[in-house]
A and B are shown apart, each in its own frame.
Chain A
Amino acid sequence: MPISHEDVEHVAKLARLQLSAAEVEQMAQELGTILDYVARLDSLDLDTVDPNFYEASENLPQREDEPQDSLPQSDALENAPDDDGCFFIVPRVV
């Protein structure tokens, strides 16, 4: 079942994507199809099952919290679309 155009537009706004009317229509159909498919998980009894968020973070090494050399500023700015040698230049924020 397709999701509503309003839902697609809302999610697109959150994701900072601009969609044409045709893209909204297409995504409403395609996301609907995929969401119908994932609804199969509703058939599982998961109430007593813990979500697996942390298994991989057990026994992981931690380094000492000591300052180390980081990327030089000039290297960090090398790929900037617009910069003045010290800062990234962007349209006015506030």
Chain B
Amino acid sequence: MTASSPNLLFGTIDEARTALADGSITSTALTQSVFDHIEAIEADVHAFIRLDRSNAMEAAKEADQRREQGATLGPLDGIPISIKDQIVTKGLETTAGSKILSGYIPPYDATVVQRLKKAGAIILGKNNQDEFAMGSSTEYSAYGATSNPYDLSRVPGGSSGGSAAAVAAGAGFASLGTDTGGSIRQPAAFCGVVGVKPTYGRVSRFGSIAFASSLDQIGPITRTVRDAAHMLQAIGGPDPRDSTCRDTPMPDLLSSLEDGAKGLRIGIVKEAFEPDGLDPEISSRVMETANQLAAAGAELVPVSIPSLPHAIAAYYLTATAEASSNLARYDGVRYGQRADIGDVRKANLVDMYNQTRSEGFGPEVKRRILLGTYALSAGYYDAFYVKAQRVRTLIGRDFQRAFQQCDALCLPTSPVAPFAQGERTADPLQMYLADIYTIACNLARVCAVSVPAGLDASGLPVGVQFICNHMQEPMLLRVARACEVQTGGYNPPTPIQGLSAEGG
């Protein structure tokens, strides 16, 4: 990093763009300084499963050459970012945090990765995550846990915990995560950054390793709302290779970004402030943020989502059933790990499946495969999976009714502050219950964002969540930006600044 820009590591994409444009830094120097910073902090944070130095430095050099020739590609050209390991990258090992995919080198790029490369973004490496995106703490990774940059003894959330921790810690300007039940928004809230779950069908999932196909979406994690708009603008829109991706072009996300709070109708979800497990400090911080928006000209409207208390049950039946089917592909035949079966001519095929899967999957993935298989098995399909889909209809109706009264819903992202490592792994249901505020959006397929709303009394980040109707991303980001103006948004974590200074 040059002496004139000591804080660029923690800065915004637009600040980096300006520095690149006025020649005060090159993409090569910027990318190198991010790698130096990662080296100083990674032993404590562990936000990455692997780095891709040589290709990143090569891509940075190309970005600098384009700039010299006046052929810069757009807002992301020359900007270092990272990608959750759930998303495949051509030629770069991709494991989804699982042992069963260790050594897997994808022969193709996910559509979102292709689009980011085409936009000139520099890919630093792959972020740590809960195995196959199953978890809310990044403790279920086969490659070790990630720490929260604001308190290294606490979890960063999950499953995109490596992505959120990297962005919060200044290790790149943005990351892509995946969100099946809150896996972008909850870690964004825990790490004090912005996380967007787009509408189902807004962003192509081609190349996103499938967890629950009726719920999964890819979205950005960034330090500011404007940065999220730049990223979403680049990755969204139709893709013939994903049949669930809608053919509506991505609208301009920047033109209405600064339209402000005036005239917005913000729905305050009654049921969201009732659960016993809600941290009172989070509850009051979210209400305080809503009141700030009201003072800035928004109207607060009380709304009700009566089905919200049933969302977790419907979610865990739906997601595990779909996961049990999607994860059937890991069988030791075409890719990934195969258990040691000795002489293949003497081995038994079913034994090979059993051994490969039992050795390759971690405990949470096994638990979910078993639950999902149970929910789909003969005699239980109607009682579990179909019932969950009926509840899903109720949740969708409740959201549509609420959106007749308001432009966006406001509620906490997580009922609890970032918890200590090891605190919740012994009780799977307790871990699931912490997803109460995020999973309903996935079931209803609407879009949502978590925005930093300052720190609690212990210095831990609090996230406030906004939810908008299908395909309303311009409104979603406008509301998020209006909120960010009120709360002040992202603040660099103190422990990381200490590490970085020690590391030189």
Contacts and interface: CB of A to CB of B under 8 A. Distances in A.
Interface of A: 3, 7-8, 10-12, 14-19, 23, 27, 30-31, 33-35, 37-38, 40-41, 44, 46, 49-53, 55-57, 59-63, 71, 75-76, 78-82, 88-93
A8 B370 contact: yes
Interface of B: 103-105, 107-108, 200-201, 214, 238, 240, 243-247, 309-310, 312-314, 316-317, 324, 328, 331-338, 341, 344-355, 357-358, 361, 366-367, 369-371, 373-374, 377, 384, 386-394, 396, 428-429, 432, 445
19 contacts: A16-B331, A16-B354, A18-B357, A18-B358, A19-B366, A27-B366, A35-B374, A37-B429, A41-B310, A52-B396, A60-B201, A61-B243, A61-B246, A78-B107, A79-B103, A82-B344, A89-B344, A91-B346, A91-B347
A39 B309 CA distance: 13
A22 to B, nearest CB: 11
A61 B240 contact: yes
Contacts of B374: 3, 7, 11, 31, 35
A16 B389 contact: no
Given A56-B214, A61-B247, A90-B333, A17 B393 contact: no
B313 A37 contact: yes
Given A15-B369, A51-B390, A60-B244, A79 B349 contact: no
Nearest to A12: B370
Residue of A10, A27, A75 with most partner-chain B CB within 10 A: A27
Contact of B243 (A60, A71, A89): A60
Contacts of B310: 40-41, 44
A30 B393 CA distance: 28
Contacts of B354: 16-18
A81 B333 contact: yes
A81 B352 CA distance: 12
B387 A46 contact: yes
A60 to B, nearest CB: 6
Given A19-B358, A46-B390, 6 more contacts: A14-B377, A46-B391, A49-B390, A79-B107, A79-B335, A90-B344
Q: Top 5 closest A-B pairs, CB basis? A: A51-B389, A81-B338, A79-B335, A61-B247, A38-B313
Nearest to B330: A16
Contact of B348 (A41, A44, A91): A91
